[in-house]
Amino acid sequence: MTARILQGATFRDAIYAELRGEIESLRAAGITPGLAAVLVGENPASKIYVRNKIAACAELGLYSEEISPPASIATEELLDTVELLNRREDIDGILVQLPLPPQMDARRVLECVSPEKDVDGFHPTSLGRLVTGRAGLVACTPAGCMEILRRSNIPLAGANAVVIGRSDIVGKPMALLLMHANATVTICHSKTQDLPNVVRGADLVVAAIGRPWMVQPEWIRPGATVIDVGTNFITDLTHAERLLAPFPNRLETFRKKGSVLLGDVHPGAVEVAGAITPVPGGVGLLTIAMLMSNTVKAAMHRRGRGAGIPQAAGTARA
């Protein structure tokens, strides 16, 4: 058995085609959705992520703006920056690129973003609406996973789903979305006992643990669907040689580039699973697509063209 490869580009392009119609309708009414990306410091990976998000805005005809304070900025200063963006009428979505420098209180910064502009879906209000099944802005990566599953006609009602990882950004919202789709969900993490056996009972596995190739092929039930959320950048030669020894082509690529991106699922799973997302080229493309979707959705709701996203009720600085 060789798994069906769920290529992210296919789903991204379909979502973009749908968004273009909504954006054209907004622009015809004199509205250009606007996204502000706050990138603190010079983290190389973060700079790439933000650049890709800005490029997606340009491709779709959205307004975008990057705010790049130095890594030395204090939490209070960054809160002031976010509050200014909250008040700007031309900005519909605000994303604060993580991770923030260690001296910053990331939770306070994320909670400062107005819920109606929280296109990353990280605000407690956004998470609370997801818990209760109310309309709102959903975290982009789990929302993208759900789009892959829906557009691939993967049955979820009654399915046994295992989510490996319990982060507020991916694991928890992913589990909630699957529960709302009537799947039976098990959340696993570093303290789960006999993890391979738990995973082996799943019809659907979502790997979001942040450990390169942790999920082994023998963990996967034959025919199961595997969504690999992992984005593990390997830059250490010794680590790369250990992992990539059976894959000489990948190892040679590493030696040329000095880095390699690996998922959480071992590539041998393609011989066991019924369907699987690749890394790279899978979920990551949908994360950006859902950010664009959330920005358009926020613009529509802020302009009275939809319902379900809470209006700003002040910002949290406590």
Query: Model-level pTM?
Result: 0.92
Pick from 173, 86, 179: nearest CA to 127:
173
Residues 269-278 pLDDT 10s: 999 999 999 9
- Let me know whether 56 and 192 are in one domain: no
The band of 309, judged by pLDDT with boundaries at 50, 70 and 90, is low
Residues 233-282 pLDDT 10s: 999 999 999 999 999 999 998 999 999 999 999 999 999 999 999 999 99
- Percent of the chain at pLDDT > 90 equals 90
Of the residues 92, 97, 118, 264, only one is catalytic, namely 97
210 in Cβ contact with 99 (< 8 Å): no
* CA–CA gap between residue 254 and residue 231 (Å, rounded): 15
Average pLDDT, the chain: 93
Pick from 199, 214, 217, 259: nearest CA to 235:
259
The band of 304, judged by pLDDT with boundaries at 50, 70 and 90, is confident
pLDDT greater than 50 at residue 314: no
140 in Cβ contact with 12 (< 8 Å): no
The band of 24, judged by pLDDT with boundaries at 50, 70 and 90, is very high
pLDDT greater than 80 at residue 316: no
Q: Report, as an integer, the average pLDDT of 190-210.
A: 96
- Let me know whether 147 and 258 are in one domain: yes
Q: Report, as an integer, the average pLDDT of 154-169.
A: 97
192 in Cβ contact with 234 (< 8 Å): no
Domain residue limits at 178: 140-285
- The CATH number of whichever domain residue 62 belongs to comes to 3.40.50.10860
* CA–CA gap between residue 244 and residue 35 (Å, rounded): 39
47 is catalytic: no
- Let me know whether 185 and 217 are in one domain: yes
In a domain? residue 292? no
In a domain? residue 163? yes
Higher pLDDT, 314 or 132: 132
283 in Cβ contact with 148 (< 8 Å): yes
- Let me know whether 162 and 249 are in one domain: yes
In a domain? residue 239? yes
In a domain? residue 79? yes
**pLDDT the model gives residue 303:** 82
Residues 214-236 pLDDT 10s: 999 999 999 999 999 999 999 99
**pLDDT the model gives residue 146:** 98
53 is catalytic: yes
Task: Report the number of distinct structural domains present in the chain.
Answer: 2
* CA–CA gap between residue 57 and residue 32 (Å, rounded): 11
The DSSP letter of residue 174 is: H
In a domain? residue 170? yes
In a domain? residue 127? no
- Let me know whether 144 and 225 are in one domain: yes
- Provide the token pair at 159: 């399915």
Higher pLDDT, 315 or 98: 98
Q: Report, as an integer, the average pLDDT of 69-88.
A: 97
216 is catalytic: no
281 in Cβ contact with 230 (< 8 Å): no
In a domain? residue 212? yes
- The CATH number of whichever domain residue 206 belongs to comes to 3.40.50.720
Q: Report, as an integer, the average pLDDT of 35-59.
A: 94
- Let me know whether 88 and 216 are in one domain: no
The band of 79, judged by pLDDT with boundaries at 50, 70 and 90, is very high
**pLDDT the model gives residue 306:** 60
The band of 318, judged by pLDDT with boundaries at 50, 70 and 90, is very low
Of the residues 92, 118, 120, 228, only one is catalytic, namely 120
Pick from 102, 95, 100, 137: nearest CA to 116:
137
* CA–CA gap between residue 318 and residue 316 (Å, rounded): 6
In a domain? residue 218? yes
